[in-house]
Structure formats: structure tokens, C-alpha cells
């Protein structure tokens, strides 16, 4: 009897694994997006490329610019920032810095990230670029470099402006870039509180510390933008990023974000197939010395697929029709095609891992004859 029960349970598990992935939850947000951080694949979306007001989600880009300046050595954590009247007067959420005082860059960053201080955002912008307008220019330069094609920024905190907009897709893009490029600073997004000027303020992200794997990222709210939340969560080695914009309340943005994350973790799994630069195959190089070249992926190859379908996954290298010397390191020489149950789901470039010089006259003549046959 026990064996029969075990067989039935195993059959049910197998059938569940083969079952079609259900549709994503329907949310009340104006726009939303759920992506896998490692593969970049979209797991759920609605109006993901529609321009929306970001409110304080803007501060993700503001922080990215400041982190970039720190990495370049243009500013330092211990820099003392003289607080201007403009920064002090900035409305909305505040760190409560005071005009004429000097505040360290590190403290301003914590005030912006943890407390969502608009005043701290302006002070950092002025320190980095001399003025908030110039800093907005840097924000737009980084946005263009990151491929945020539907974004334009006019201020550092995210205050309402007709020319200040982004999309769920673009916000997910800068969030992923921030986690990837500045992991040492990303930890601040999980800090539950920060005290400045004897005023303790708590992180507005109510998914932190709830046992659901969320370790960031940012809330936002204005009357025009509604309630927004970017969340990043990691469970069993898989990281997802959800973007929810334009909900009706704080509780709605929390519920919608949790619904997206639970859906992604429950029904999808991510596999890291090949690291960048790993040799996958030797390709023939006509007139080359040597006559072959090792080929591998240009970037890490990761794929997100329905949970339980890994045994249906396959990969194949598709070289260009003919490869002739010389070949440079990093030159694209083919594509890696990933297939699930025989259907293509993703392609990534395959590149030469070594240089191949043109061979001598004898090699070229021999290969010319071989080509004829």
C-alpha cells in the first residue's frame, strides 16, 4: 500500500512539473515588471515600456551616479558637503540636514537611501556636479549608456516635472546595474533605519525583514505618481527584481510586489549554463594559423525556465557559415541557441577566445583547394 501511495505521489509530482505555467497575477498598478536578475528574462509585465512618473524611484539612478563618481575617485565618503539653502528647502521627505552645516557624503547617501531624503539627494547632486541641473545631465548620460531609452531626468529626488519620467523596464535596468556594479553599496538598501540630527527614520520598504528574501530596493510616492516600489529578493540562489508603479496605496504596492515575487519564485528557476569565456567548441578557420579557434560565450549564459523543465533544455552552437583568418579575440563567430523542448527561447553571441593570424601562402593555397571539395 505504501509503495502504491509513493508511486501515485511521484506521478502527481511529475505531472505538476510538466503542467503549463499559469499566467502572472493581475495587478492594479499602472505598470509593473518582474525579471530574473541573472538571465534578464521577463517573467511578468504590463505597461512595462510606458512612460510613468517615478517619484523617489529616481533616487536609484541618483545613487548609481554617486556610486560611479566614488568608484572613479572623483569624490570620497569622507568629503564634507556644505549644505546649500536649496538643498535645505527641498520639499517632501527629508533627512533634516541644516543649511550651512557640513555633512559627510556617506551620511548623505544613507539619508537618501534609507530615509529617502530629498534634501540629501540635492546636496549630493550639488557636490558631484556643482548644480542639480548639471547632475541631471549626468543622470541622463548614464541612462543612455545603460540603454534606458524611455527615461529622462530633470532632478535628483524625483519631484514632479513633465520632463521627468521613466518606465518599469528602465527602472529595472538601472536597479540590476546597481546591484551588479556596486554590490558593496547595495547592502545599505536593506538597512531598517538611520538616525541623523537625533531623528530616527525607518526604511519605507515594508517587505524588508519579512522573511521573503527581500533585501532592497526603493519606495516612491507622489500624488501624480501614486505608490511605487522596486523590490529585489533572493531565494535559494535565484534573484528576482520587481517594479510596481502607480498603485493606489502603500499596502497595494506591497501586496502587488509580493504577488509578483512569489509567482516568479514558485513557477520559474534559473540555471547558470556557461560562464563568459568558457571554451565550448573548436571551429575551423580557413587560411588560419592555427587552423582552429576555441569559441565561447561573450557573457555569462543564464536562462530562466518553468520550474521542473530542466531536462527539456538543450543548447547548440551555430557558427557563421565560413570563418576566414585573421580572427581577433572577442570577434563574434557564431551564436549559442538555447532550446526548451525543441523550441528556441534565447540566443547569445559566441566569440573567438584566441586570435588567429593569416597563415602562409602554403596554408592559404591548401585551404583554397580544400574549399573546392
Of all residues in the chain, what percent carry a pLDDT higher than 90? 82
Q: Are the folds of 24-268 and 275-372 the same?
A: no
pLDDT in tens, 42-99: 999 999 999 999 999 999 999 999 999 999 999 999 999 999 999 999 999 999 999 9
pLDDT in tens, 147-203: 999 999 999 999 999 999 999 999 999 999 999 999 999 999 999 999 999 999 999
pTM (two decimals): 0.88
Three-state SS at 179: helix
- Rounded CA-CA distance 261/222 in Å is 24
| pLDDT, mean of residues 17-42 | 89
The domain 24-268 having CATH identifier 3.40.710.10: the answer here is yes
Provide the b/e sequence for 82-105 (b: ≥16 CB within 10 Å): ebbeebbebebbbbebeeeeebeb
Angle of helix 118-129 relative to helix 58-71, nearest 10 degrees, comes to: 40
pLDDT band at 8; cut points 50, 70, 90: very low
Q: Are 303 and 273 in contact (CB under 8 A)?
A: yes
Flag whether pLDDT at 250 surpasses 50. yes
CATH pick for 275-372 out of 2.60.410.10, 3.40.50.2300, 2.40.50.140, 3.20.20.60: 2.60.410.10
- Cis omega (within 30 of 0) for bond into 326: yes
Q: 13's torsion region: left (phi>0), alpha (psi -120 to 50) or beta?
A: alpha
The full set of domain ranges for the chain reads 24-268, 275-372
Tell me the C-alpha to C-alpha distance, in Å, between residue 79 and each of 63, 115, 125, 161, 303: 16, 20, 13, 30, 42
Beta pairing class for 343-352 and 313-319: unpaired
Q: At 44, phi and psi to the nearest 5?
A: -160, 145
**What pLDDT shows up at residue 15?**
44
Cell numbers for 121 = 539627494
> Helix, strand, coil: what percent of the chain each, to 5?
35, 30, 35
Cell numbers for 297 = 560565450
**What pLDDT shows up at residue 138?**
98
Cell numbers for 327 = 580572427
Positions annotated as catalytic residues are: 56, 59, 116
**What pLDDT shows up at residue 363?**
58
C-beta atoms surrounding 109 within 10 Å: 22
Of all residues in the chain, what percent carry a pLDDT higher than 70? 91
Tell me the C-alpha to C-alpha distance, in Å, between residue 42 and each of 233, 242, 264, 280: 15, 10, 10, 27
The dihedral of CA 154, 156, 162, 165: what is its sign?
A: positive
| pLDDT, mean of residues 220-247 | 97
Amino acid at each position: 500500500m505504501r509503495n502504491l501511495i509513493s508511486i501515485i505521489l511521484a506521478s502527481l509530482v511529475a505531472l505538476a512539473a510538466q503542467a503549463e505555467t499559469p499566467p502572472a497575477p493581475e495587478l492594479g498598478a499602472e505598470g509593473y515588471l518582474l525579471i530574473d536578475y541573472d538571465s534578464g528574462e521577463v517573467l511578468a509585465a504590463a505597461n512595462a515600456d510606458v512612460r510613468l512618473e517615478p517619484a523617489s524611484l529616481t533616487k536609484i539612478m541618483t545613487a548609481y551616479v554617486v556610486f560611479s563618481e566614488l568608484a572613479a575617485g572623483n569624490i570620497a565618503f569622507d568629503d564634507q558637503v556644505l549644505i546649500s539653502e536649496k538643498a535645505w528647502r527641498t520639499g517632501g521627505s527629508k533627512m533634516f540636514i541644516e543649511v550651512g552645516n557640513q555633512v559627510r557624503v556617506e551620511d548623505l547617501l544613507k539619508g537618501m537611501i534609507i530615509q529617502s531624503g530629498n534634501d540629501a539627494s540635492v546636496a549630493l547632486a550639488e557636490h558631484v556636479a556643482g548644480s542639480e541641473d548639471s547632475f541631471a545631465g549626468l543622470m541622463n548620460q548614464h541612462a543612455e549608456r545603460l540603454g534606458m531609452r524611455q527615461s529622462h531626468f530633470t532632478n535628483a529626488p524625483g519631484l514632479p516635472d513633465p520632463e521627468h519620467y521613466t518606465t518599469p523596464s528602465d527602472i529595472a535596468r538601472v536597479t540590476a546595474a546597481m546591484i551588479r556594479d556596486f554590490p558593496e553599496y547595495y547592502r545599505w538598501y536593506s538597512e531598517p533605519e538611520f538616525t541623523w540630527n537625533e531623528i530616527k527614520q525607518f526604511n519605507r520598504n515594508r517587505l524588508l525583514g519579512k522573511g521573503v528574501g527581500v533585501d532592497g530596493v526603493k519606495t516612491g510616492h507622489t500624488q501624480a505618481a501614486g505608490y511605487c516600489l522596486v523590490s529585489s529578493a533572493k531565494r535559494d540562489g535565484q534573484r528576482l527584481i520587481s517594479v510596481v508603479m502607480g498603485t493606489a496605496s502603500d499596502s497595494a504596492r506591497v501586496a502587488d510586489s509580493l504577488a509578483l515575487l512569489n509567482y516568479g519564485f514558485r513557477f520559474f528557476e534559473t540555471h547558470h549554463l556557461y560562464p563568459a569565456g568558457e571554451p565550448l567548441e573548436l571551429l575551423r578557420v580557413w587560411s588560419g594559423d592555427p587552423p582552429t579557434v576555441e569559441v565561447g560565450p561573450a557573457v555569462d549564459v543564464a536562462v530562466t525556465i518553468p520550474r521542473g523543465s530542466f531536462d527539456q533544455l538543450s543548447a547548440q552552437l551555430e557558427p557563421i557559415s565560413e570563418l576566414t583568418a585573421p580572427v581577433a579575440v572577442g570577434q563574434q563567430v557564431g551564436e549559442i541557441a538555447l532550446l526548451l523542448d525543441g523550441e528556441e527561447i534565447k540566443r547569445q553571441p559566441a566569440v573567438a577566445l584566441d586570435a588567429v593570424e593569416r597563415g602562409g601562402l602554403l596554408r592559404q593555397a591548401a585551404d583554397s583547394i580544400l574549399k573546392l571539395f
